[in-house]
Amino acid sequence: MNTLISSLFTCVLSLVIIENAISQSHRSRPVAEAHAGLGISPTYLKDKGEAIVMPVTLQVSLRLRPKYGLGLVAGYSVTNFRLRGTTNGEAVFLQNAYRMAALRGAVHTRHHGKWEAYGGIAIGVQHTDITVISGTITGINKHKNIPRSATKFYYSGFVGGRYHFTKNVSAFSEMGWGVSLLSLGVVYRWNKRTKCGGK
């Protein structure tokens, strides 16, 4: 019940942010942005995973107003990890191919010099494909119930910051649930309507 209430609350909050951003967008021209990110730590770090394909994200977004943004993000990573859980203590080596896509709503602060902070929420879908590299997953499933393939919806929050090199190019650092817990990347902006000082 608590999960259902939290999900409904997040959905309502998302709709409020999106509706407010869209209504504000009629007062000024939206700004298109493209983001490319590289994950520093895979989401499955708790399983002592080893990144085979580093977590990568691509995002397109619209800054509907200087303070409000709406975007679509997609991510991909491949991680190897080891589990122990069978009755005979056998270690099982697994590979997890993780994909995700989400709708993101963000609120940005005013610029402080060339710096900018932001935060928001994401609602999307994630898919995992588990491949057994060595060992057998049967015994582990009795204890951990690991699906070989699964798709599910998720929601999460994120916070980050940007440093603006020019009017069109900036770097970002972000924390949040997704393809990686911590990501670094670059943003390219078209039709920038404000200076880096936010004026």
Pair 59, 104: CB distance under 8 Å: yes
C-alpha count within 13 angstroms, C-beta hemisphere, residue 189: 23
**Residue 167 φ then ψ, to 5°:** -65, -25
Nearest to 55, CA basis, from 37, 41, 39: 39
The CATH code of the domain that includes 31 is: 2.40.160.20
Residue 194 lies in a domain: no
- What is the distance between the alpha carbons of residues 111 and 121, in angstroms, rounded to a whole number? 21
How many domains is the chain partitioned into structurally? 1
Range(s) of the domain holding residue 47: 2-189
User: Which pLDDT score, from 0 to 100, does residue 25 have?
Assistant: 43
User: Which pLDDT score, from 0 to 100, does residue 94 have?
Assistant: 81
Q: What is the pLDDT of residues 118-154, one digit of tens each?
A: 999 999 999 988 888 876 666 555 555 666 788 989 8
Residue 199 lies in a domain: no
User: Which pLDDT score, from 0 to 100, does residue 8 have?
Assistant: 43
Residue 196 lies in a domain: no
pLDDT per position in the chain (199 positions), as tens? Answer: 444 444 444 554 554 455 555 554 445 678 899 999 998 876 665 556 778 888 999 999 998 888 889 999 999 999 887 776 555 666 778 888 999 999 999 999 888 889 999 999 999 999 988 888 876 666 555 555 666 788 989 889 999 999 999 989 999 999 988 888 899 999 999 865 544 444 4
User: Which pLDDT score, from 0 to 100, does residue 140 have?
Assistant: 57
User: Which pLDDT score, from 0 to 100, does residue 197 have?
Assistant: 43
Contacts of 84 (CB under 8 A, 6+ apart): 90, 91, 92
User: Which pLDDT score, from 0 to 100, does residue 17 have?
Assistant: 53
Residue 198 lies in a domain: no
